[in-house]
Amino acid sequence: MADISIRSVRKAYGKDEVVHGVDLDIYDGEFIVILGPSGCGKSTLLRMIAGLEEITAGEVAIAGQVVNQMEPRERGCAMVFQNYALYPHMTVAENIGYALKVAGMAKAERIARVTQVATSVGLDGMLDRKPGQLSGGQRQRVAMARAIIREPRVFLFDEPLSNLDAKLRVQMRHEIRRIHNRIAATSVFVTHDQHEGMTLADRMVIMNKGTIEQVGTPEEVYDHPATTYVAGFIGSPAMNFLPGRISTAGRAVVLEGGARLDISAAAALGHDGLLVQVGLRPEQIAIAAPGQSGLPVRFDFAEELGSGRLYHFLHEDLPVTVHSDEKRRFAPGEPATLTVPPVAVHLFDAQTTQSLTAAAALAEARARVNA
C-alpha cells in the first residue's frame, strides 16, 4: 500500500515561492499525471516527493509515513528522468543493476534479476552495450528497467517522453501504461503534453503558477473544466472564449454585439447580469445556414486535418474555431451561423475565472456513476 498524501506543501527558493501550498491525495496503485506549462511547479512537486528537493513547508507522506526528512533512497521511490540520466560508462546491464549493486545484492542474483527485467521491457541482447550505442527509445527502456528493477512503491516520471520523436512517444506511452497495469505501483507522471496526460492518467492534476487548478479524471477535466485556465489548456484545438453577460430571464448569455446563446437553467440561476467568459469547444459547435438562431459569424479560413476540418470563423472580430467532420466550402467573408447545445456552453465568471457550471455538473455526473 503506497498512497501519497501531500499536505499544504510549499517550496520557496529564497523569497521566491514556486509552489504555493499544494494539497493532493494520490491513491495506491493509481496513475496520476501532473500537467502544466513549464515553470508551473510540477517538476518541483515531483522532486519533493522523490526527496531531491527540500520541502519548505508542509508535509509529504508515503504509505502513511511522513518522508520530509528521509533520504531519497529510503522513500522507496524510483524515478525516470527526462534525459534518462543513464551512467554513460556502464553497460546496459550495469545501469539497470546499479541500484541492486549499491544495495549489496550478490552478483549471481543481480544478473538473474537484470536479465529478467531487461526481457520484460524488450532489451534482450543489448545488455552489453553502452548507452551511447542505443537509440532514444532503447535508452528510455533502460531508464524504465532501472526503475522497475527496484520494485519501488512509487514510480516517478519527470517528462520522460519529451525527448522522443512523435511516433516513438506514442509507442512508449502505451508501454508505460502496460507496465503500470502489470506492476500496479503508484505512479506520478509529470508532463506538459496534454495528450500524454489525457491518455495515461487515471486522474490528472492541472497545475498553474504553483497551485493546483483542478484534479479529476481526464473525462471530468475535459467535460467540466473548473477554471478558464484548465478549459483553455485541455483540448486541442483549444476552447473558444467569448465575453458575455448572463440574462437569467432569457435563460441565455448575451454576447457582445447582441448575439444570444441558450444556456441551461441551472447555470443561469442567480447570476443575472454577471459578466462571464463563454467557453465553446470546437468539437461541440455545429455549422448551420445563415439566418438561423445562433452565433452569427463570418468565414476566415479552414485547415484540412484529413479526418475532419478546422474552420476558423470570426464573431465580432473574435476568432471562433469549429472542428467538424463535414466538408463544406466557404468563400472568405461568407456569413454562417454556429449553433451550440445549451449543455455545451461553459460559463466562467469573468472576474474569478471560476466555472459557474463545472461544480454542479461534476457532482451530478459523479452521483450518476455511483448510482
Partner 1 sequence: MIERTPVLNILTHFILAVGFILLFLPLWIAFVAATHTIQAVNSAPVELWPGNQLWVNMQEAWVKSDFGQKFVNTLIVAVAVVIGKITIAAITAFGIVFFNHRLRMVIFWLIFITLMLPLEVRIVPTYAVAANALLPFQKLMDWTGLTWLIESASGIRVAMEWNLLNSYTGLILPLIATATGTFLYRQFFLTIPDELVEAAKMDGSGPLRFLWDILIPLSRTNIAALATIMFVYAWNQYLWPLLVITDRANYGLVVVELRTLVPDSLTTGGGTPTWHLAMAATLMIMIPPILVVIFMQRWFVRGLINTDK
Nearest approach, Cβ of 180 to partner 1 (angstroms)? Answer: 18
What's the CA gap between 190 and 197, in Å, rounded? 8
102 binds partner 1 (CB under 8 A): yes
Cβ-Cβ contacts under 8 Å for 252 (sequence gap 6 or more): 246, 260, 261, 262, 263, 268
Of the residues 82, 163, 264, 353, which one makes contact with partner 1 according to CB under 8 A: 82
The side-by-side arrangement of strands in the sheet containing 77-80 is: 77-80, 154-158, 186-191, 31-35, 203-208, 211-216
Partnered with residue 43 across adjacent β-strands are: none
Q: Per-residue contact track with partner 1, 123 to 152, x per CB under 8 A? A: -------x-x-------------x---x--
User: Are 75 and 62 spatial neighbours (Cβ–Cβ below 8 Å)?
Assistant: yes
Nearest approach, Cβ of 107 to partner 1 (angstroms)? Answer: 15
Stretch that binds partner 1, among 82-90, 189-197, 246-254, 331-339 (CB under 8 A): 82-90
Nearest approach, Cβ of 244 to partner 1 (angstroms)? Answer: 47
Of the residues 8, 83, 119, 181, which one makes contact with partner 1 according to CB under 8 A: 83
50 binds partner 1 (CB under 8 A): yes
89 binds partner 1 (CB under 8 A): yes
What's the CA gap between 350 and 366, in Å, rounded? 27
Nearest approach, Cβ of 52 to partner 1 (angstroms)? Answer: 5
Stretch that binds partner 1, among 96-104, 196-204, 297-305, 351-359 (CB under 8 A): 96-104
What's the CA gap between 371 and 369, in Å, rounded? 5
Could you count the other beta carbons within 10 Å of the beta carbon of residue 113? Answer: 17
Q: What is each CA distance from 130 to 80, 119, 122, 126, 290, in whole angstroms?
A: 18, 17, 16, 9, 65
Q: Per-residue contact track with partner 1, 149 to 178, x per CB under 8 A? A: -x----------------------------
Decide whether 127 or 274 has the Cβ nearer to partner 1: 127
Could you count the other beta carbons within 10 Å of the beta carbon of residue 182? Answer: 10
Decide whether 152 or 244 has the Cβ nearer to partner 1: 152
Q: How many residues line the site for partner 1 (CB under 8 A)?
A: 26
Decide whether 51 or 218 has the Cβ nearer to partner 1: 51
Decide whether 52 or 238 has the Cβ nearer to partner 1: 52
Of the residues 58, 68, 81, 262, which one makes contact with partner 1 according to CB under 8 A: 81
Of the residues 21, 58, 72, 232, which one makes contact with partner 1 according to CB under 8 A: 72
Nearest approach, Cβ of 194 to partner 1 (angstroms)? Answer: 24
Stretch that binds partner 1, among 3-11, 45-53, 295-303, 359-367 (CB under 8 A): 45-53
288 binds partner 1 (CB under 8 A): no
Nearest approach, Cβ of 110 to partner 1 (angstroms)? Answer: 13
Partnered with residue 24 across adjacent β-strands are: 6
For residue 88, with 0-12 CB atoms within 10 Å meaning exposed, 13-18 middle and 19 or more buried, which class applies? exposed
What's the CA gap between 339 and 293, in Å, rounded? 8
Which grid cell is 277?
467568459
The side-by-side arrangement of strands in the sheet containing 345-349 is: 260-262, 252-255, 240-247, 275-280, 345-349
User: Are 88 and 132 spatial neighbours (Cβ–Cβ below 8 Å)?
Assistant: yes
Local structure of residue 53 (DSSP, 8 states):
S
Of the residues 52, 61, 183, 238, which one makes contact with partner 1 according to CB under 8 A: 52
Of the residues 49, 62, 79, 358, which one makes contact with partner 1 according to CB under 8 A: 79
Decide whether 146 or 346 has the Cβ nearer to partner 1: 146
User: Are 272 and 247 spatial neighbours (Cβ–Cβ below 8 Å)?
Assistant: yes
Note the residues at the interface with partner 1 (CB under 8 A): 50-52, 71-73, 77-79, 81-89, 98-99, 102-103, 130, 132, 146, 150
